[in-house]
Structure 1
Amino acid sequence: MSIAPKSRFFPTRTGRREAMTGFRRDEAGGLIIFSLFILVAMMLTAGLAIDFMRYEQTRTRLQNTMDRAVLAAASLSQTQDAEAVVRDYFEKAGLADYLGPIKVEEDLSSGTAAYRKVRVSAGATLRPIFLSFVGMNEMPVITSSTAEEGISDLEISMVLDVSGSMGWAAASGNSRIHDLKEAAKDFAYHMQCNPNASRGSGKPCEVEHGKVSISIVPYSEQVNAGPHLLSLFNVTDEHASSHCVDFSADDYTRVGLGDYVSDPFSGLPPAPQDVLARTGHFDPWLAYNRTPDSWSCNIQSERWITPLIDSHTDAYDAIDTLVAQGNTSIDVGMKWGAALVDPGIRSVVDSLTSTPVATGSSEMLVDPALRGRPYNYAQSYNAKAIILMTDGVNTAQHYLKNQYRDGPSVVWHYDKADGTPGDPVYSVYNASRNQYRWVNKNSSDFKSGWFDSVYIGEPEQSCSNQTVTYYDPWWRLRTRTEWVCTETGPPNGTPRQLTYPEVWSTFTTRWFSRFNWLENPVLSHGTVVKDDRLMDICNAAKQRDILVYTIGFEIEGDSGEEELLGKCATTINHFFLADGLNLSDTFGAIASSLNQLRLTE
C-alpha cells in the first residue's frame, strides 16, 4: 500500500500546528512595524510643534500691535481720537479683523486731557493643521492690554541735602550745591512745564496749572519748616526764634503728621497730648566766649520748607536760595517729605491757600488751585512720590535734654531802675553751695569768690569833683582836684531769673557746661539711630504706595550709604548713583519715570 505525500496547502493537523508555531517564532519584518509606529509619533510631534509655533506667532503679533496701539492712544500728547488710533494700528498691521472692544476713560473737565486710560482686547481663532487629526479643530488666541497716563494729580516732595559737604567741589568742577540747583530746576521744569523739552528752550508749557505740586524740603542737621507752616501744627511754644521739630521715634513709623493738626473734616483741634516738640534754639558748636550764631536749627529763611509749589518758576526761586551748611539728617528730611504728601495735613494746606505771602498781597503762600491737597491715597489718577537726595551719611543731630528746654534756669541777670537790662554781668547758681558766681558774658569772674545773692549792680553813689591833699615824692603836702564818688545807698537793680530759652539765645551751650557744677545740657542722635529711623520712614512711605526715589550724589563706596539708599527706595531700580557730571540726567530719568505711561496688564 502506498502513502500519499503531505499537501503544503492542506496539511494535516500536526502540520498546521507546526506551521503556526514557526510563524509565531519567525522575527523577519518586525523592525518595519516598529518603525511605522515611530514615524507616526514623530509626525504627530512635529505637527504639534508647528501648530503651537503658529499659535505663539499669532499671539505675539497681536500683543505687540496692541501694546503699541494703547501706548500711543493713551498719551496725553495724542491729538487724535484714542479709539481711532487703536483701529489705525490694527489696520496697518493687517489685524483689524481680530480687534475686539476698545474702552477709553479720560478726564476732559479742564478742556484738555488730564487723564486717559485705554483698554483693548483682541481675539483670533487659529485652525490647526495637524492637531485636527487628534480632535482639536480650533486654537483660540485671546490678548488684552491697558495703558494709562495721568500726570495731573502728582504730588512730589524733593528732599534735598544742603549740609556743609554740599559746598565741596563736584566731579564737574562746580560745587555740589551748584550742580544740585541746576538738576533740581531741570526736574521742576519737566514736571511742571514741559516734559518733552529742555529748560531754556523757550517752548510753551504743556502741563496744566494746578495738576502737579512740588514741595521742596532742604535739610542739614535739621529741617526748618518756617513760621507759617509750623504755626499750623500743635507744637510747643517755649520760643519762636526757629521752627524745627524734634520728632519722636514713633513719628518715623508712620507717614503723616495728621495727629498734630486740626482734623480736615471736622475742623476739631488736635488732642492736647498730641504735640510736637519744638527744637531748642541753641548753639552747640561755638566756643564758650562766642555769641551764639551756629544754631542747631538753622534760622535762615533759605532753609524753610517751601510747601506745594504749583509753578516751575516759583520752584526755581526756592531752589536758587539754597545754601550749604551744617550736619546731615537724612531721616528728618525724609520725614517731612513724606508728611507733605500725606492727606493728614490737608487742613494745613487749605489754610496756606488763603494766607497771603505778605500783608495786603493777593498772592497766597500756596496757590488756591492746590486746595484740597494732598489727596487721599485711594484717589483716582493720583500718584505721590518722594525724591530723596544726599551726598553723605547721617551725622550727629543735637537736641536739648528735657530739663533744659524750658522753664526757669540757674542763670540770673538784673534790670536797672528804669527797666532797661543791666550791665552784662550774670549770676550763676550753684545748688550744692546755695550761692552764686558773678561772671562776665565770657564766663570769667566779674568778682572772685562766691556770693549769697544775685548781682544787681553797684551800690548807689554820689560823685563830684573834690579837692584832696596828698604828699609828693619829696614829702611835701600838695592839693589836687579829683572825681570822688561816695556810696549813698545799696544797688537798686531788680534780679531777674532767665528762662532756658533766654539762656540759649544769649550763650552757647559750651558757656553753660564750662561751669564745673553744671552738666552738658545737650544730647545727640548718632548715625546708627538715624539710619534706623530713616529705614522706618522709608518703609512706612512704601507701605502707602508712595514712590520713593533715592539719589546718592558722589557718596563714598565704603560708607554704607549706597546700601541704605537702595533699601530706602521703592525698588533697587528707583535708586541712582550720580556725580556732578550726570546729576541732571539722573533727575531727568526720574522725571521721565513719573511722566511715562504705565502698562498695567
Structure 2
Amino acid sequence: MAGAERFTERFRRDQSGATAIMFGIGALVLILMTGFGVDYYRWTIAKSETQGVLDGAALSAAASREIDESALSTIADAHVAANSPNMRKAFVDPDYDTELTYADEKVTVTMTGGVPTIFMGLAGVQTMPLNVTAVAQRGEAEAVELVLVLDNTGSMNQMDAGGQTRIAALKAAAASLVTKVKEREEADVKVGVVPYAEYVNVGKANRGQAWLNLEEYDKHVPAKDPTGKQADEIEVCTEYGPYYTVNRTRQLDGRTESYTEQRRDCTKKEKRPNPNAGKPTGGNAAYTEQFRWEGCVYSRIGDLRLSDTAPMSPYAGIIVNDKKRDCQTEIVPLSDNRATVLSAISGMVTTKQRGGDPMTFIPGGLIWGVNVLSPGAPFTEGRAYGPANRSPRKIMVLMTDGVNTMTYRPNGTKFGQHIATTAAGQLKQTNDDVTAICNYAKSQNIEIYTVALGIEDDASTTMLRGCASQADYFFNASNNAALGEAFDAIAASINRVRLVQ
C-alpha cells in the first residue's frame, strides 16, 4: 500500500514538470499570435491611411484636366508629399514608390512600400508588403449633350457695384462653363444655346420647315385710304421755360426702377402756315407695308406648349412689319464646334430690335431647351435618349434674373401669344407652366440645373428649386460674382471625377 502511494506521488511530480513545459510553450505561442495580431492591426491602419492619401492624389490629378502622364504624376506626387505625415508610419525609412498611368479617362496611381513589424521579426519577417491602388474616373465615360437656356431680358442690363452688367457677367460665366465642359475640341460634347425673353428666335434659316407655320410671310398690305385733309395752320411752340428735374418710376421686366427726367414747359405758342395743308392725313394711298418673319415664334396651342410631343403640330411664326423687327439672338442647336457656341454667347443682346426692354416668359425658353435636346423635330441634332440618361447624358441649365412677367393667351387655334400681366392668377399659371415643362423634361431623364440671379420673390425661387433635378442643382446667386461661381460649380459637376477603385 505504501509503495503504491510513493509511485503515485512520483507520477504527479513528473506530470507537473511536463505541464509546466507545455504551459510555457502555449504561452509563447499565445504571445506570438498576439504580437502577430498587433503587427497585422498596424498594417491595416497603415493601409487605410495610405489609401486615403492616394485617393486624394488620384482625384487631384484627374480634376486637373491634364492629359500628359508626367504632368499628372507631378500633381499626384505633390499631393502625396503634402500629405505624407498622414502615411509616413506606413513605410520603412519611409521608402515607397509611386506610379501613375492615364488611359480611357482614368487616372491610376499605385504605391508600394512596406510596414515594419515588431513581433513578426522574431519569425524572420521584418516588413509586411503594402501595395495600394487608387483609380479616379475623369468626367463621364458617356457623351454629353448640354443646352444653356439663358435670360436675355431687359433687366439683365442692370449693373452691379463694380459697373458690370448682368448680361456681361452671364456671358463670361456661360463661356467659362462651355470651355471647361469642352476643354478638348475632340471631346464627345455638344452644346446648344437658347437665349430667351418674351419669345425665342428659332432662326430664319428654318423658313420652310414642316414644324413652322408662316402663312403671312412677306405679305404686303395696302394702307387705308385717307379720309381727311391736314389743316391750313398749325400751332407751334416758340419759347420755352428753364429745364427742371422730374422724378419718375417705371416697370422694367417686372421690377420698379426710379429715374429722373429733364423737362421744360412751353411758355409761348404761335399759329403758322402748315406746309402740308390740304394733303391727306393718312399719307399716300399707294403706300404698302411689308410684313415679314424675323425668326420668333409663338407658343403652341393648349397642352402642346408644355412638351415636345406631336412635333409636326407647327409653331406659328410672329409676323412683324419692317418697322417693328421684334426678335433677339437666334438659338444655336447642339454643336460640337466650341467656337460657334462661344460666338453665340458673346453675341447675345438684351433689347428688342424694335427697341424697348423685353420682358420675361420662362416657359418659352424651357420648351425650346427641351426641343434642342430632343432627338426629334424641330431640331434633330440630339441623339436618341439613352437608358438612365447615359450615352448620351442630356443636361439643361436654366438661368434667369427675374420673375415671370407675362402669361400665355391662346389666339383661337393658330398660336399662343405671350402678354404682359401683373395679375397673380395669370402669373401663377405661368409658373405652373414652368413646373410642368421641367417635370416633362425630367420624365425624359434630362438633368436640370437652375440658376437664379438676384431674385427675392419666394414663389419664383421655390419654382426654380423644384425645377432642378436635385437640391444641389439649384443655385441662388445674389450678385454677378456668385453667378460666375454657380456656373463654375455646374461645370465641375458635369466634369465630376469619382473614385472607381
Report the TM-score, using the length of structure 2 for normalisation: 0.56
Counterparts in 2 of 1:57 and 1:308: CA distance versus 1, 3 Å: same
> Over residues 392-446 of structure 1, what are the superposed CA-to-partner deviations in whole Å (9 max), with x where a residue is unaligned?
112223444216x49xxxxxxxxxxxxxxxxxxxxxxxxxxxxxxxxxxxxxxxx
2:333 aligned to which of 302, 307, 310: 307
Distance 1:588 1:142 in 2: 33
The gaps in structure 1 that reach 5 residues or longer are 1-46, 107-115, 131-137, 196-206, 261-273, 283-290, 350-372, 407-503, 510-522
Distance 2:69 2:191 in 1: 31
| Correspondence 1:486-525 to 2 at 5 A | none
Conserved? CA contact 2:299–2:305, under 8 Å: no
Conserved? CA contact 1:243–1:279, under 8 Å: yes
Which residue does the alignment assign to 1:147?
137
Q: Which amino acid aligns with 1:322?
A: V
Which residue does the alignment assign to 1:337?
369
Conserved? CA contact 1:393–1:559, under 8 Å: no
Which residue does the alignment assign to 1:576?
475
Which residue does the alignment assign to 2:494?
594
Q: Which amino acid aligns with 2:67?
A: Q
Counterparts in 2 of 1:248 and 1:62: CA distance versus 1, 3 Å: farther
Distance 2:53 2:430 in 1: 47
Q: Which has the higher strand share?
A: 2
**Cα offset for 1:391?**
0.9
1:391 aligns with 2:401: yes
1:561 aligns with 2:460: yes
Distance 2:69 2:143 in 1: 23
**Cα offset for 1:390?**
0.5
Distance 2:76 2:194 in 1: 46
Conserved? CA contact 1:245–1:276, under 8 Å: no
Which residue does the alignment assign to 1:178?
168
1:319 aligned to which of 346, 351, 360: 346
Task: Classify the secondary structure of the residue corresponding to 2:448.
Answer: strand
1:79 aligns with 2:68: yes
Conserved? CA contact 1:165–1:391, under 8 Å: yes
Counterparts in 2 of 1:560 and 1:75: CA distance versus 1, 3 Å: same
1:246 aligns with 2:299: yes
Distance 1:549 1:312 in 2: 23
Aligned pairs, how many? 365
Conserved? CA contact 2:216–2:319, under 8 Å: yes
Distance 1:182 1:547 in 2: 23
> Over residues 29-77 of structure 1, what are the superposed CA-to-partner deviations in whole Å (9 max), with x where a residue is unaligned?
xxxxxxxxxxxxxxxxxx9999878745532432441452365368651
**Structure with the greater alpha carbon radius of gyration:** 1
Counterparts in 2 of 1:561 and 1:172: CA distance versus 1, 3 Å: farther
> Over residues 110-165 of structure 1, what are the superposed CA-to-partner deviations in whole Å (9 max), with x where a residue is unaligned?
xxxxxx135789999999999xxxxxxx9x99987542335994322111112222
Conserved? CA contact 1:223–1:304, under 8 Å: yes
Counterparts in 2 of 1:171 and 1:247: CA distance versus 1, 3 Å: farther
Counterparts in 2 of 1:87 and 1:209: CA distance versus 1, 3 Å: closer
Distance 1:180 1:83 in 2: 32
**Cα offset for 1:246?**
1.5
Distance 1:560 1:167 in 2: 23
1:533 aligns with 2:467: no
Q: Which amino acid aligns with 1:246?
A: S
**Cα offset for 1:80?**
1.6
Conserved? CA contact 1:249–1:533, under 8 Å: no
| Correspondence 1:232-311 to 2 at 5 A | 232-240=209-217, 241=293, 242-247=295-300, 250-251=303-304, 254=307, 257=308, 259-260=310-311, 274-278=312-316, 281=319, 299-300=326-327, 302-309=328-335, 310-311=337-338
1:168 aligns with 2:161: no
Conserved? CA contact 2:401–2:454, under 8 Å: yes
The gaps in structure 2 that reach 5 residues or longer are 1-35, 85-89, 120-127, 218-292, 352-356
Q: Which segment drifts farther, 385-394 or 52-61? A: 52-61
Q: Which amino acid aligns with 1:389?
A: M
1:377 aligned to which of 383, 386, 402: 386
> Over residues 558-599 of structure 1, what are the superposed CA-to-partner deviations in whole Å (9 max), with x where a residue is unaligned?
442222222222323222222134433333333333334233
CA RMSD for the aligned pairs? 5.2
Conserved? CA contact 2:194–2:332, under 8 Å: yes
Q: Which amino acid aligns with 1:526?
A: Q
Task: Classify the secondary structure of the residue corresponding to 1:77.
Answer: coil
Conserved? CA contact 1:389–1:552, under 8 Å: yes
Q: Which amino acid aligns with 1:323?
A: T
**Cα offset for 1:217?**
0.9
Task: Classify the secondary structure of the residue corresponding to 1:303.
Answer: coil
1:226 aligns with 2:203: yes
Which residue does the alignment assign to 1:447?
none
Which residue does the alignment assign to 1:468?
none
**Cα offset for 1:555?**
1.2
Counterparts in 2 of 1:590 and 1:279: CA distance versus 1, 3 Å: same
Task: Classify the secondary structure of the residue corresponding to 2:439.
Answer: helix
Distance 1:156 1:525 in 2: 33
Which residue does the alignment assign to 1:215?
192
Q: Which amino acid aligns with 1:227?
A: K
Distance 1:105 1:391 in 2: 42
Task: Classify the secondary structure of the residue corresponding to 2:404.
Answer: coil
1:69 aligned to which of 58, 81, 84: 58
Distance 1:340 1:377 in 2: 16
Distance 1:598 1:391 in 2: 33
Task: Classify the secondary structure of the residue corresponding to 1:338.
Answer: helix
> Over residues 421-478 of structure 1, what are the superposed CA-to-partner deviations in whole Å (9 max), with x where a residue is unaligned?
xxxxxxxxxxxxxxxxxxxxxxxxxxxxxxxxxxxxxxxxxxxxxxxxxxxxxxxxxx
Which residue does the alignment assign to 2:48?
59
Distance 1:88 1:182 in 2: 34
Task: Classify the secondary structure of the residue corresponding to 1:275.
Answer: coil
Counterparts in 2 of 1:321 and 1:163: CA distance versus 1, 3 Å: closer
Conserved? CA contact 1:334–1:537, under 8 Å: yes
Counterparts in 2 of 1:347 and 1:292: CA distance versus 1, 3 Å: closer
Task: Classify the secondary structure of the residue corresponding to 1:570.
Answer: coil
Q: Which amino acid aligns with 1:580?
A: N
Which residue does the alignment assign to 1:436?
none
Which residue does the alignment assign to 2:148?
158
Distance 1:553 1:90 in 2: 36
Distance 1:582 1:321 in 2: 21
Q: Which amino acid aligns with 1:327?
A: M
Which residue does the alignment assign to 2:451?
551
Q: Which amino acid aligns with 1:221?
A: E
Identical amino acids, percent of aligned pairs: 25
Counterparts in 2 of 1:253 and 1:399: CA distance versus 1, 3 Å: closer
Counterparts in 2 of 1:66 and 1:387: CA distance versus 1, 3 Å: same
Conserved? CA contact 1:550–1:569, under 8 Å: yes
Conserved? CA contact 2:442–2:448, under 8 Å: yes
**Cα offset for 1:552?**
0.9
Distance 1:543 1:76 in 2: 32
